[in-house]
Chain A
Amino acid sequence: MRISRRRFLGAATAAATGAVLAPRFKVRWARGASDFRARRVVIVGVGGGLRRSEALGMAQGATMPNLFGRVPVIAGYGDADAGDPVIAPEYAAGVPALVLPAPRSTPLFTEGALVANLRYDGGAPGHLQGQGCLVSGFYNNIENRADARLPVPTVFEIHRREANAPATDAWYVSTPGGFFSALQASDNREFGPRFGGSFLSPPGSVSALLPIVTSGVREIDVDVSGGPPELPIIAGTPAEAAAVRRLTGILDGNSPAPASDGAFRATAAENAAIEDHLAEIYGDSTYGAIFPDSFGIGVDAGGGELDATGDALTVYHAERLLAKFKPTVMGMTLLDVDLCHGDFNAYLRGQQIADACVRHLWDFIQATDGLRDQTTLLVLPEHGRHLYSNGQNPDSLGRSGIDHGEGDDGDRDVFLLALGPDIAPVGVIEPTGVKQTGRTSDRYETIDAVMTAMGMLGHDGVMKGALEDEGARPGMLIQEILR
């Protein structure tokens, strides 16, 4: 296989800046789950804040055509073709073009349900708070710290405890790393890190620099005659890995476990399965396993080659995890759109990337045995963005950056796209008159999307109880989107 010099350069320089599950694990399906066909739920949070006006109203052109088509799907934005995304010409001239597949002929919302008036009605419209809500159904104001913990259990913990599932059955895959790993597990006494989900941030952990740096080489020539260059890999065979684990087991059998530091720890068997998965990636001397051009979504690197964005890399590796472990629960955080703080045009491009990635993910699910017809996909912004711009980096069309966090309607009016075997193909709906003690929105809310996901796995009762124990208002099942 031809080595891609540009891929290598891109990967390196950018970074510079259940197969083997323990047999004792046997997943139990919780009561009530048999009412649904779905056996898996993937919750994609479009992190960084995405407004309805751009995504659904297409006020700057059809930025998400795979999900919503080219005609605005909410009132107030007309009923004509919104056209292509409106990128300022001076911006377009200065950045590499996006590589995107041709949009679907019919948008995905037509195959499922689009709750166009969802409300993110509590908690700060901030990253960890919004994503925290998406993995717990709990409006919160936790701090942006790696040691922050939600007081209520995450969907990962609830599923793992209730189904006796291994850590490889519950994943949180995130474009941002760092403190986002805080969402693996809560500090709830009844749940906590021992039931946490596995966490992977591909932009940090899947890097060409790991084999390069550990190899000790400090110079590589990528243009050699007679074949591809020798790029560093992390070599090893399954037999060697098995031998290492046997020997380590001899030692660990007589060593005390380290004291708990409150962080998630997988078992040796779970980590072995994850290591094997990553070893396949790091054993590929073309580096195509880190991010292949065939993914087809990213930034044009010239010469027919492709550079990943954070979201493209994240979705690619989420798909690898789905294929390998077929987890029951996966949470995912995208973040490309958050460039909007200082770059409105990048916000629009980020929407295009997220749109293509979600479509790729759904196509992947439909093309994979064991995922197809068993997987529910929920896509929603973690929150929106302000109704006003911040003046940062104005373009020739009079647009500038937009922040989030103050909690105006731009921040809090969001949407939910739901696809899957239990989702009724109702298209766009905007239910009102949703009543619950303490609910003032009169609408469905973000917490309802999470509760609906847990309902499909039969865990809604446990989630409801855990939330009520903490004095929180639990979400409700969104009946209108269910078959």
Chain B
Amino acid sequence: MTPRPRSASLLALALAAALGSALAACGDTTYEFDQVSVGDEDGARTPRERSNSQFVRAVYGDLVGRAPESYDFTITAGGAELVRFPVDEQSLLVGVLEGMGDSQPLRALMVAGLVASAEVALPDRADVDDPAGFIGDQFRRLLGREPSAYELRAFVDEWRADEAVGPRTVVRALVGSREYQSF
């Protein structure tokens, strides 16, 4: 049998022991269990790409701070209602993304639209006194980790060198990364 990763084996043994103890208390019957594997020892599995549906929900949660919603969209003319139709953000946006074989370009544009929306309160570049702090905050918020020293330095260098690099571009880059778009 292939040796099991240490942590997985320990967990399996613990589960087996606990279960065995419980069963042993029930009678004389003994059982043999196949060893099971739970997870990887070092977590180094190959990531899988988020589906379009998963991506839309994740982005809404992380950037907008809420789940996609359904509501009535209203078009008026001079205040008079012309038409009202239902919008289901999740299904509409997934439908748009599914219109391409590789939805990456549309995902990028969707995020570009969201970071400019009133619902996503990102500061202007000029209002960020501490770019490194801002960048670190976004790594923690969107990727769930600290930036490496290399990443932080590279992002800060870009921020200082290019006026186009600011809060919106940082967020768009993080959400557009392989790391964010896979799990």
| Inter-chain contacts of B49 with A (CB < 8 A) | 258-259, 261
Q: Does B126 contact A (CB under 8 A)?
A: no
* A239-B164, A263-B101 known; A275 vs B108 contact (CB < 8 Å): yes
Please determine whether B176 and A248 come into contact, CB atoms closer than 8 angstroms: yes
The interface-forming segment of A85-93, A192-200, A442-450 is A192-200
Please determine whether B102 and A204 come into contact, CB atoms closer than 8 angstroms: no
Chain A residues 141-172 with CB under 8 Å of chain B are 167, 172
How many contacts between A and B, using CB within 8 angstroms? 222
Chain B residues 135-175 with CB under 8 Å of chain A are 148, 150-151, 154-155, 158, 162-165, 168-170, 172-174
Please determine whether B106 and A252 come into contact, CB atoms closer than 8 angstroms: no
Bound-state CA distance A220–B162 (Å) is 35
Nearest chain-B residue to A184 (Cβ)? B101
Number of residues on chain A facing chain B (CB within 8 A): 77
Chain A residues 355-386 with CB under 8 Å of chain B are none
| Inter-chain contacts of A172 with B (CB < 8 A) | 101
Please determine whether B98 and A204 come into contact, CB atoms closer than 8 angstroms: yes
Partner of A221, one of B77, B158, B163: B77
Bound-state CA distance A272–B104 (Å) is 9
Please determine whether B158 and A246 come into contact, CB atoms closer than 8 angstroms: yes
Q: Does A181 contact B (CB under 8 A)?
A: yes
Q: Does B119 contact A (CB under 8 A)?
A: yes
Nearest chain-B residue to A275 (Cβ)? B105
Please determine whether B109 and A240 come into contact, CB atoms closer than 8 angstroms: no
Please determine whether B106 and A259 come into contact, CB atoms closer than 8 angstroms: no
| Inter-chain contacts of A242 with B (CB < 8 A) | 164
* A216-B117, A240-B164, A275-B109 known; A259 vs B99 contact (CB < 8 Å): no
Q: How far is the CB of B110 from chain A (nearest CB, A)?
A: 6
Please determine whether A247 and B169 come into contact, CB atoms closer than 8 angstroms: yes
Please determine whether B82 and A9 come into contact, CB atoms closer than 8 angstroms: yes
Please determine whether B174 and A251 come into contact, CB atoms closer than 8 angstroms: yes
Partner of B151, one of A15, A216, A250, A266: A250
Nearest chain-B residue to A185 (Cβ)? B101
* A200-B100, A243-B162 known; A218 vs B74 contact (CB < 8 Å): yes
| Inter-chain contacts of B110 with A (CB < 8 A) | 210, 214
The interface-forming segment of B2-10, B26-34, B88-96 is B88-96
Q: How far is the CB of A161 from chain B (nearest CB, A)?
A: 17
* A220-B75, A223-B77, A271-B102 known; A234 vs B83 contact (CB < 8 Å): no
Chief secondary structure at chain B's binding surface:
mixed
* A13-B85, A218-B73, A279-B109 known; A248 vs B101 contact (CB < 8 Å): no
Please determine whether B105 and A243 come into contact, CB atoms closer than 8 angstroms: no
Nearest chain-B residue to A202 (Cβ)? B99
Q: Does A19 contact B (CB under 8 A)?
A: no
Q: Does B132 contact A (CB under 8 A)?
A: no
Q: Does B114 contact A (CB under 8 A)?
A: yes
Q: How far is the CB of B23 from chain A (nearest CB, A)?
A: 38
Q: Does B21 contact A (CB under 8 A)?
A: no
Q: Does A292 contact B (CB under 8 A)?
A: no
| Inter-chain contacts of B174 with A (CB < 8 A) | 247, 251
Bound-state CA distance A177–B172 (Å) is 27
Please determine whether A235 and B109 come into contact, CB atoms closer than 8 angstroms: no
Q: Does A469 contact B (CB under 8 A)?
A: no
| Inter-chain contacts of B109 with A (CB < 8 A) | 210, 234, 275, 278-279, 282
* A266-B102, A278-B109 known; A258 vs B182 contact (CB < 8 Å): yes
Q: How extensive is the interface on chain B, given as a class?
A: 35 or more
Please determine whether A216 and B155 come into contact, CB atoms closer than 8 angstroms: no
Bound-state CA distance A17–B92 (Å) is 9
Q: Does A206 contact B (CB under 8 A)?
A: yes
Nearest chain-A residue to B81 (Cβ)? A219
Please determine whether A9 and B75 come into contact, CB atoms closer than 8 angstroms: yes
Q: Does A299 contact B (CB under 8 A)?
A: no
Q: Does A205 contact B (CB under 8 A)?
A: yes
Partner of A222, one of B73, B82, B151, B154: B82
Q: Mark B114-141, 1 if CB is under 8 A from A, else 0.
A: 1011111000000000000000000000
| Inter-chain contacts of A396 with B (CB < 8 A) | none
Q: Does A265 contact B (CB under 8 A)?
A: yes
Q: How far is the CB of B40 from chain A (nearest CB, A)?
A: 13
Please determine whether A178 and B98 come into contact, CB atoms closer than 8 angstroms: yes
Nearest chain-A residue to B101 (Cβ)? A199
Q: Mark A68-86, 1 if CB is under 8 A from B, else 0.
A: 0000000000000000000
| Inter-chain contacts of B172 with A (CB < 8 A) | 240, 244
Q: How far is the CB of A274 from chain B (nearest CB, A)?
A: 4
Bound-state CA distance A184–B102 (Å) is 10
Q: How far is the CB of A263 from chain B (nearest CB, A)?
A: 7
Q: Does A12 contact B (CB under 8 A)?
A: yes
| Inter-chain contacts of B177 with A (CB < 8 A) | 248, 251-252, 255
| Inter-chain contacts of A205 with B (CB < 8 A) | 96-100, 106
Q: Does A211 contact B (CB under 8 A)?
A: yes
Please determine whether A266 and B92 come into contact, CB atoms closer than 8 angstroms: no
| Inter-chain contacts of A59 with B (CB < 8 A) | none
Interface contacts beyond A243-B173, A255-B178, A275-B104: sample of 17 additional A-B pairs, CB < 8 Å, sorted by A: A5-B77, A199-B100, A209-B87, A210-B96, A213-B87, A215-B117, A218-B72, A223-B77, A234-B109, A239-B162, A239-B163, A245-B173, A247-B169, A248-B176, A256-B47, A279-B109, A282-B109
Mind listing 11 A-B residue pairs with CB under 8 Å?
A: A207-B99, A209-B92, A214-B110, A244-B108, A252-B179, A255-B47, A271-B102, A271-B105, A271-B108, A275-B105, A282-B109
Chain B interface (Cβ < 8 Å from any Cβ of A) = 46-49, 64, 71-79, 82-83, 85-87, 89, 92-93, 95-102, 104-106, 108-110, 112-114, 116-120, 148, 150-151, 154-155, 158, 162-165, 168-170, 172-174, 176-179, 181-182
